[in-house]
Amino acid sequence: MSTHSPRSALYAGLGCRRGCPVETLAVLLRRTLTDQGIPLSALRGIASIAPKAREPGLLALAERLDLPLVCFEAEQLLDFEPLLSQRSATVFAQTGCWGVAESAALALAGRTCSQPRLYVPRRILGGATLALASGG
């Protein structure tokens, strides 16, 4: 992937197992940003799927970063299926969408532009997944 342009906003999509600690999510995010040479200031929001709206680790991460946590219904995430780097039948059976992290990142980026794109495909750490999408 190319070096991030400071003019384009990025959005993180996160998926996690129930009870995933905030520190796991924070480490995954920090490692991903560092590996890609992206400053934390480029991140404009974090997203997940609606059943995770009350997940303590996600809520704590959003609060720690002072960023909104936006959660989408599975039906809203299905629109982004053609843009995913991979599709999981297991995830679809559990959630109703083909991939939580990538779909959620794209859905949030799609609120600011008509053609969101996957910037960093899904990364995994412990019980957490993360992807970054660009809104520009």
What are the tens digits of pLDDT across the range 100-120?
999 999 999 999 888 999 999
Q: What is the CATH number of domain 10-134?
A: 3.30.420.180
Give residue-wise pLDDT tens across range 17-56. 999 999 999 999 999 999 999 999 999 999 999 999 999 9
Flag whether the pTM goes above 0.85.
yes
Taking a C-beta distance cutoff of 8 angstroms, is the pair 117, 27 a contact? no
Q: Cβ–Cβ contacts within 10 Å for residue 107, how many? A: 26
Give residue-wise pLDDT tens across range 50-95. 999 999 999 999 999 999 999 999 999 999 999 999 888 888 888 8
Q: How far apart are CA 2 and CA 97, in angstroms?
A: 28
